[in-house]
Amino acid sequence: MPVEPLSRTEIEARLAELPGWTLAGDRLTRAYRLDSHVAAAAMTVHIARVQDELDHHSDLTLGYNTVSLSVHTHSAGGAVTAKDFELARKVEDLASAHGAH
């Protein structure tokens, strides 16, 4: 089942519900700061599991005490789709449990 790209208006409306997430070019992006490298690594593993469950993967970067994501949908020609927002929402939901801000 093909996934349809979202319009700029739809993207902006959905971003309003996800503070901290932005549109950078053709990708949704977000960076989180955590209290330690171990906390950031644990959050990265948790995100990787969620991505596997959704079968939708972002570019996921672990820094010393940061975790950054950049996501778009390859099967939609690299556009932003509802799948990207589903992943973003799930990451937001787990971020607070890791003490991310």
pLDDT digits (tens, 9 = 90+) for 47-92: 999 999 999 999 999 999 999 999 999 999 999 999 999 999 999 9
* Contact in structure between 90 and 50 (CB atoms under 8 Å): yes
Closest CA to 91 of 56, 1, 35, 3: 56
Q: Residue 46: which pLDDT band, with cuts at 50, 70 and 90? A: very high
Q: Whose structure tokens read 């902006």?
A: 12
* Contact in structure between 34 and 62 (CB atoms under 8 Å): no
Encode 70-80: b = buried (16+ Cβ within 10 Å), e = exposed.
Answer: bbbbeebeebb
Q: Whose structure tokens read 């208006």?
A: 9
Residue 1 has pLDDT above 70, yes or no: no
